[in-house]
Homo-oligomer: A and B are copies of this chain.
Amino acid sequence: MNVQLEDNYGKREAVLKSTLALIKEYGFHGTPMSMIAKHAGVAAGTIYHYFDSKETLIVELYIHVKDRLAKAILVYDDKKLPYKDRFFNLMINQYNFYIENPDALVFLEQYVNSPFAKNYPEKESQLFIDKVHTFFNYGIENAYFRNIDPRLLAPTVKGTLVAAANFQLSEHIVFSKEDLIEVINIVWDGIKRQNLQHIQYP
């Protein structure tokens, strides 16, 4: 009896999940709706009960994945810890999310470089903006970071983490905890406020 609500939600969820998996394998244009339907165990028409079109399905999938990413990033975030520790924790979480959800990684990268991102710039995960952007802004306002345009920070960080995750996944290597910390040190050493010897802050 309480299963029905779950079941109803289940089909929508199944469609999203199948779309994610198939897009990783075949790309956007390589995955017809019929394939999604079959993979998700629903009829083709059912997809249109939950989504207006293939395009909105993909846009909604993007928000769905970004929501999941935002939640995963913030696990165990403790505002009482030093900012650098919090930063490292967030980076570790983000990295692990990619490793545990390679299809999400591939999909997100495909999406942001596709015309979708340009055509629906307003379609974003509100959760991600609220939480993750807030975290970065805090670091900027409190001068933990280099004095660059704040809008450059997040992409810069993401670029390196994505590169590392893609590398691990494509080469079928397992990074040790130390390896990962080293990668995050690359990011941190790059963007942290530099204390150059010849400049003195009184």
Contacts and interface: CB of A to CB of B under 8 A. Distances in A.
Contacts of A148: 179, 182-183, 186
Closest 5 CB pairs of A and B: A159-B159, A190-B190, A29-B29, A155-B163, A186-B190
B182 A189 contact: no
Size band of the A side of the interface? 35 or more
Interface string A1-42: 000000000000000000000000111111000000000000
A25 B159 CA distance: 23
Nearest to A112: B109
A195 to B, nearest CB: 11
A19 to B, nearest CB: 15
Tell me how many chains of this kind the complex includes.
2
A195 B121 CA distance: 43
B152 A167 contact: yes
Interface of A: 25-30, 106, 109-110, 113-115, 146, 148-149, 151-152, 155-156, 158-160, 162-164, 166-167, 171, 179, 182-183, 186-187, 189-191, 194
A58 to B, nearest CB: 11
Contacts of A114: 27, 110
Contact of A163 (B109, B158, B166, B194): B158
A149 B190 CA distance: 18
